[in-house]
Amino acid sequence: MAEALSRTDEHPGGVLDALEYALRLAFFAAVPFGIVVLASLVPMTAALVNIVLALGAFFFGEVLRKHAQARGWLGAILRRQLAFEEYYRDRPPKPFLYYVVYPLLFPYWLAVSEARREFWLFKGYTVVTFLLAAISGAYRYFAVYQPEIGFKTFLLSFGIGLAIEALAVIMFLMPIATTVVALHKRAQHGRLVALLIVGLLSVGVAIAILAHRHRTFPSLEARQRVSTRTFANRKHAESVADEALRLAWKERRKKNYERESDGTVDGAPLDLARAKLGAFYRPDEAAAFELWTTARGDKTPMMILYAEGPRRGKPVFRAMRADGTIVTSAKDIPKSALKVMRTVGEF
């Protein structure tokens, strides 16, 4: 299978060419959307920087090469990207399907010398990913995790995120970059522009969907931090949450946000609650919290401040009745609220 996929056709045409381009279109329509969604769940800064650098080297390879030769420091920074561009300048990329299923061909691209050489070029991007992620991770540990969350918890989250970023570079960068090279070498500029437009539209649709979601879309890391930070200093977390609920109740009593039925609360009450939570939680952690309230005519009105968290573990929530009484047991929370809060943890 690997040998069949590795054959190159410098003068494609006909049905096979059309099918391959259709596959490229589908990839560029789906993958950028997936990258945006994945980046909202897992830190992807290093992987995205790598993809941008690689594509920039392909589009502006000659210009960058001239400047790199004149400025040694620029050449040192772009050495990997320029070597990547030079490799494909002399060797046309393999068929697109080869790069789509590349991770499944693991034995092949280590055993065959030419395939191994190509892999080592992409491996350089994973090294850059590790370096960028390490720098970002060091900053996040001291600025985001500390002082409540320890190094062990950080290291686990960092390791998982790093593995995902490294895999993303291989899975996303290779098909995208080799597509740009292949179509550029064949002078199929119209097709290349069409793919780029499709990719940009895919990114735009993903961003629009995430921006207009009714509920927040906290990252998996942020959800874990909410739970860990809360139980690391539970007394402080509860004190801040109680004050946040009091502010939300005060805003609700203005009768601008009354509800005829049970449900989540948006607008000023939620904004005030999240702002108060910022006294203890990090901004993305505070944004993971939601508000739920009983209906206006409920005999025992209650408001619940809860956060999306890991499926396993103790749920993060704080509930308060209209008279200021704190509710701490999940057994005293209305079933309709528990249904909405199903992503919080194990009730």
Q: Before 315, cis peptide (omega within 30)?
A: no
Q: And the tokens for 185? A: 């070498």
pLDDT confidence of residue 11: 46
Q: And the tokens for 73? A: 């420091």
pLDDT digits (tens, 9 = 90+) for 141-164: 999 999 999 998 898 888 888 787
Q: How many residues does the chain have?
A: 347
Q: What is the pTM of this model?
A: 0.71
pLDDT confidence of residue 310: 57
Give the Cα separation of 190 and 331 in Å (integer). 62
Q: Which secondary structure element, helix H or strand E, spans residue 263, and what is its range?
A: strand 263-265
Sign of the Cα torsion 242, 248, 253, 259 reads: negative
Give the Cα separation of 90 and 121 in Å (integer). 14
Q: How is residue 112 annotated by DSSP? A: S
pLDDT digits (tens, 9 = 90+) for 86-128: 777 777 888 888 888 888 888 887 788 888 888 877 766 666 6
Alpha carbon distances (Å) from 181 to 75, 84, 137, 339? 21, 10, 33, 50
For residue 216, is pLDDT > 90? no
Which one is predicted more confidently, 40 or 322? 322
Compute the mean pLDDT over every residue in the chain, rounded to the nearest whole number: 78
- Cβ neighbours of 296 (radius 10 Å): 12
For residue 74, is pLDDT > 70? no
Per-domain residue ranges of the chain: 2-211, 220-340
Give the Cα separation of 244 and 240 in Å (integer). 6
The residue written with tokens 């919080």 in the block is 344
Q: Residue 332 burial by CB count (10 A; 0-12/13-18/19+): exposed, middle or buried?
A: exposed
pLDDT confidence of residue 25: 92
Helix %, strand %, coil % for the chain, to 5? Answer: 70, 5, 25
The residues near 81 (Cβ < 8 Å, ≥ 6 apart) are 53, 54, 56, 57, 64
Where residue 65 falls among pLDDT bands split at 50, 70, 90?
A: low
pLDDT confidence of residue 346: 43
8 A C-beta contact, residue 50 and residue 80: no
